[in-house]
């Protein structure tokens, strides 16, 4: 209903539309219309209300409204059901609560997260209106051992989407997007499954879009950045999130149809921050130096040690 009211207000930007007309068109009471309009005002929509004339939309806030995103999507099912929140603890947590009941591709987006989760139990700073904090629910018919491939699809989708808005970036295997060495996006993939089948996968994507330096906790300012900081201009979040979703479906469908993530791996290799560089492979307290030489078809990093030994890294922390 909220979205329908926004659509009507947008279609009538040049003139006033009366509460009665909105209520007739949407077949709801005038009190209901008034409540929706009040909520929109609370959320930052600037709506002029004049008695006997009605309402006129003067300005829309920078919100990731599902209907705005929908207009820019070319997907079949990813992002076609968007659940949008002003604030949640974590979109991944919300996604996991509803994953079994909703259709595949359902996407949770929140303007802020109060307990955003990062990998390895870390926190993820998610200030209001400044980023893209989203989780995509997937139900692929694959074995749980393949679930991590979806992370590569996520990384490739985000990297391409950022490139599409004119910002060069690199993918730091397995799931970080970096600009000039500083992290601008992280991906947290979580799965529920049994021994040989996946119930659902939640791909949580956090992109630092319009954060300013002061939005980062002090200890992250050296290692984290945002698209706004790098491009020196405010970025259109609706356009960016739509690009991410469009790219994601293209690459995900290719994976489901071909059973291979070659298309995503090709993007991850082309834009890799690690390939052909000396890296440190960190496993707990153990740190080993090697050269990153490839990313294989399963999305695993191949490293070569100085003694000539070659090893496949499935997960873990890598630093340059």
Query: By the criterion CB under 6 A, which residues form the site for ligand BTN?
Result: 90-92, 113, 116-119, 122, 124, 126, 133-135, 176, 186-188, 204-206
Q: What angle do CA 212, 108, 148 make, to 5 degrees?
A: 90
Handedness of CA 262, 266, 272, 276 (dihedral sign): positive
Instruction: Assess contact for 211 and 127: CB atoms under 8 A.
Output: yes
Instruction: Assess contact for 159 and 267: CB atoms under 8 A.
Output: yes
CA 189 to chain CA mean position, Å? 12
- Nearest-CA neighbor of 163 among 181, 177, 149? 177
**Residue 203 in tokens:** 């791909």
**Residue 33 in tokens:** 């219309």
Helices 19-26 and 2-11: crossing angle in degrees, nearest 10, is 130
When the beta carbons of 6 and 64 are compared against ligand BTN, the nearer one is 64
Question: How far apart are CB 93 and ligand BTN at their closest, in Å?
Answer: 7
- Nearest-CA neighbor of 66 among 237, 234, 203? 237
Neighbours of 206 (CB within 10 A): 27
When the beta carbons of 92 and 264 are compared against ligand BTN, the nearer one is 92
Instruction: Give the residue carrying structure tokens 């440190």.
Output: 280
Question: How far apart are CB 270 and ligand BTN at their closest, in Å?
Answer: 21
When the beta carbons of 54 and 127 are compared against ligand BTN, the nearer one is 127
Closest CB to ligand BTN: residue number? 186
When the beta carbons of 117 and 149 are compared against ligand BTN, the nearer one is 117
When the beta carbons of 208 and 246 are compared against ligand BTN, the nearer one is 208
When the beta carbons of 23 and 81 are compared against ligand BTN, the nearer one is 81
Question: How far apart are CB 134 and ligand BTN at their closest, in Å?
Answer: 6
HSE at residue 66, side-chain half, CA atoms within 13 A, is 20
Q: What is the DSSP letter of 224?
A: B
Question: How far apart are CB 240 and ligand BTN at their closest, in Å?
Answer: 14
Question: How far apart are CB 269 and ligand BTN at their closest, in Å?
Answer: 20
Question: How far apart are CB 196 and ligand BTN at their closest, in Å?
Answer: 27
When the beta carbons of 1 and 223 are compared against ligand BTN, the nearer one is 223
Question: How far apart are CB 296 and ligand BTN at their closest, in Å?
Answer: 22
């Amino acid at each position: 209903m909220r979205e329908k009211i926004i659509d009507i207000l947008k279609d009538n930007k040049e003139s006033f539309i009366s509460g009665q007309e909105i209520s007739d068109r949407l077949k709801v009471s005038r009190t209901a219309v008034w409540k929706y309009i009040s909520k929109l005002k609370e959320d930052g929509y600037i709506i002029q209300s004049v008695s006997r004339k009605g309402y006129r939309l003067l300005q829309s806030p920078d919100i990731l409204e599902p209907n705005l995103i929908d207009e820019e999507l070319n997907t079949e099912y990813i992002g076609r059901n968007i659940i949008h929140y002003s604030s949640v603890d974590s979109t991944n947590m919300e996604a996991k609560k509803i994953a079994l009941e909703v259709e595949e591709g359902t996407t949770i987006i929140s303007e802020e997260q109060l307990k955003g989760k990062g990998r390895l139990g870390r926190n993820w700073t998610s200030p209001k209106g400044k980023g893209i904090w989203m989780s995509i629910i997937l139900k692929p018919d694959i074995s749980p051992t393949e679930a991590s491939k979806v992370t590569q699809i996520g990384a490739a989708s985000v990297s391409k989407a950022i490139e599409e808005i004119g910002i060069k970036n690199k993918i730091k295997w397995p799931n970080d997007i970096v600009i000039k060495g500083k992290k601008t996006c992280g991906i947290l993939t979580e799965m529920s499954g049994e021994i040989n089948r996946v119930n659902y996968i939640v791909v949580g994507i956090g992109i630092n879009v319009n954060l300013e330096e002061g939005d980062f906790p002090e200890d992250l300012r050296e290692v984290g950045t945002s698209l706004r900081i790098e491009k020196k201009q405010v970025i259109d979040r609706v356009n960016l999130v739509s690009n991410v979703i469009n790219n994601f479906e293209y690459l995900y469908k290719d994976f489901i149809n071909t059973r291979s993530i070659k298309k995503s791996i090709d993007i991850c290799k082309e834009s890799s921050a690690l390939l052909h560089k000396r890296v440190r492979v960190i496993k707990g307290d153990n740190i080993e130096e090697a050269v990153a030489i490839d990313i294989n078809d399963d999305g695993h990093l191949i490293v070569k040690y100085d003694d000539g030994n070659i090893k496949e890294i499935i997960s873990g922390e890598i630093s340059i």
